[in-house]
Amino acid sequence: MPSQPPIRHALLIHGAGAGGWEWNLWRDVLHARGVDTLAPDLQPSPQGIEATTLDHYREQMRAALAALPRPRAVVGASLGGLLAWLCGDLADAMVLINPLRPQPWASPAISDTDAAARPAREWPDLIAWRRHARLATTRDAMPDADEAAILYAQRRWRDESGAVLRRALAGVEAPRPACPVLCIASRGDEDVEPQLTARFAAAIGANLIVGPGSHVGPLVGRDAARTAAQAADWLSAR
């Protein structure tokens, strides 16, 4: 049986309020392994961020992925993980990092009393993360990052659409992609509980890596290079 060609192209999809800059370290690691990457910024609707919907982002990412040569991978973090899932039919491999989950896994399990009891957060139409970005709050969000990474991120946060997050957190239905999937969960993630990511991975038959760090730690924390190398090793084995 002929061997399959290796994955040489990957679309990297960032999380809410961030940008393609989140993937700078991952891009270096993947490029060193012979994988060309595309890490675009999610673009708001022409009518503005308050009019932006999840469908706007999904169509952008599907078009970007479809333009890459095959075999190709899609890699997404947090909101980007859900968007990667919505592009899964176009991918040959998928990596989901602390992802927002699709239905029927979007809601916490009934038996998970801590997560189930947590009140739902209310999101305004315009989430002014850029305007309110401060070093102290960025440091709180990136406890496993060094000061240079914290300063870099604080200058680059962007505003986000409340409609996008409300829709994403409510859960979106999409079939499980046929391609192999790797899930990466952070033990210190306070936004996407690692135990729920592990249950999701088990339910879809995905591989799972659990490591240290915060919600954004796998991309910008001190262990990010090691995590990127683990993902690159997994991709090379596809």
Would you state the pLDDT for residue 80?
98
Q: Does residue 40 sit in helix, strand or coil?
A: coil
User: What is the helix (H) or strand (E) element at residue 224, kind and residue range?
Assistant: helix 224-236
**CA distances for 165 relative to 8, 21, 65, 137, 152, angstroms:** 31, 20, 22, 20, 24
**Pair 105, 197: CB distance under 8 Å:** no
Q: Which tokens in the block code for residue 192?
A: 């996407």
User: In which region does residue 102 sit, left (phi positive, over 0), alpha (psi from -120 to 50) or beta (all else)?
Assistant: beta
For the chain, 238 residues long, give each residue's pLDDT as a single digit of tens: 456 789 999 999 999 999 999 999 999 999 999 999 999 999 999 999 999 999 999 999 999 999 999 999 999 999 999 999 999 999 999 999 999 999 999 865 433 334 334 445 788 888 998 888 899 999 999 999 999 999 999 999 999 999 999 999 999 999 999 999 999 999 999 999 999 999 999 999 999 999 999 999 999 999 999 999 999 999 999 7
